Amino acid sequence: MAAAAYDAAHHHPDADTRKQNQSFYEFMVPLVKGYSTEMSLEVTSAAVQVHGGMGFIEETGVAQYYRDAKILTIYEGTTAIQANDLVGRKTSRDGGQTARAIAAQIQDTEADLNKNGSADALAVARRLQGARLAFLEVVAFVADQTRASPNAVFAGSVPYLMLAGNLMAGWQLARAWLVAQEQLAQGVDEAFMRAKLVTARFYADHLLTRAPGLRDAILDGADSVTGLALESF
């Protein structure tokens, strides 16, 4: 989606559409770099765990993926630097306007899911809504407080990056759910489409549910980030 927005930002015939796509793309860059790379560590760590002791030693090859994944969060500029970019240039600078425009698109996807009305669609829509509302609370905090209380906002910059990335990934899976449902109804590639539906539901149940906790950490957690005296280190 970020790559498609980049193309539209450069090649769409309409100037306003080019501008909107440019803002969308720029907002997505720290999420693509930061959230995806942090999640690659979580995924490869789980892969080692699944293989147990044989995963930790070299025979299965999975430990190599884990080690390779660790550099991804460093050599694209580090997660904290991507998070600083998300707070400063991508959210605070336009007063949260781009973030809110993306949230409105997510709300449209929720409406499509609710219209479908199946138990799975309603479950995914409910979790997407919970994550979107958590995101909007944090966007308001970042947009309003970055100048007045920079330490309070930047203390939560990485959790904000993870919340926003989590929401965007859940949104894309929800869109995939809607497409897979249609394809399944037409009898296209049944096993693949069913896997898409289950994956989207799993993500909604087990990962989108992290968003409200991240919101609480960002809105209420700054004091304990900066609480230790320098001499304590």
Ligand X SMILES: Cc1cc2nc3c(=O)[nH]c(=O)nc-3n(C[C@H](O)[C@H](O)[C@H](O)COP(=O)(O)OP(=O)(O)OC[C@H]3O[C@@H](n4cnc5c(N)ncnc54)[C@H](O)[C@@H]3O)c2cc1C
Instruction: Tell me which residues are annotated as active site.
Output: 76
Helix (H, G, I), strand (E, B) or coil at 178: helix
Task: Pick from 2, 41, 80, 219 the residue near ligand X by CB under 6 A.
Answer: 80
Using the 8-state DSSP alphabet, how is residue 51 labeled?
Answer: H
Tokens matching residue 136: 């909007």
Q: How far is the CB of 132 from ligand X (least distance, A)?
A: 27
Number of neighbours of residue 194 by Cβ within 10 angstroms: 12
50: amino acid identity, one letter: V
Site string for ligand X, 29-68 (x = CB under 6 A): ----------------------------------------
Site for ligand X contains 75 (CB under 6 A)? yes
Interface region with ligand X, contact rule CB under 6 A, candidates 79-87, 105-113, 116-124, 222-230? 79-87
Which of 84/109 has CB closer to ligand X? Answer: 84
Nearest-angstrom CA–CA distance, 92 and 90 = 6
Helix (H, G, I), strand (E, B) or coil at 75: helix
Task: Pick from 23, 44, 84, 98 the residue near ligand X by CB under 6 A.
Answer: 84
HSE, side-chain direction, 13 A CA sphere, residue 176: 19
In the chain, the largest separation of any two C-alpha atoms, in whole Å, equals 66
Using the 8-state DSSP alphabet, how is residue 92 labeled?
Answer: I
Task: Pick from 1, 57, 71, 195 the residue near ligand X by CB under 6 A.
Answer: 71
Task: Pick from 81, 103, 122, 140 the residue near ligand X by CB under 6 A.
Answer: 81
Put residue 117 in one of left, alpha, beta given phi > 0 → left and psi -120 to 50 → alpha. Answer: left
- Phi then psi for residue 78, to 5 deg, are 75, 150
Containing H/E element for 1? none
Containing H/E element for 95? none
Residues 184, 165 contacting (CB under 8 angstroms): no
Q: How far is the CB of 226 from ligand X (least distance, A)?
A: 13
Which of 124/163 has CB closer to ligand X? Answer: 163
Interface region with ligand X, contact rule CB under 6 A, candidates 30-38, 72-80, 166-174, 200-208? 72-80
Task: Pick from 36, 78, 114, 145 the residue near ligand X by CB under 6 A.
Answer: 78
Q: How far is the CB of 107 from ligand X (least distance, A)?
A: 32
Site for ligand X contains 233 (CB under 6 A)? no
Site for ligand X contains 111 (CB under 6 A)? no
Task: Pick from 54, 74, 179, 198 the residue near ligand X by CB under 6 A.
Answer: 74
* Residues of this chain that bind ligand X (CB under 6 A): 71, 74-75, 77-78, 80-81, 84
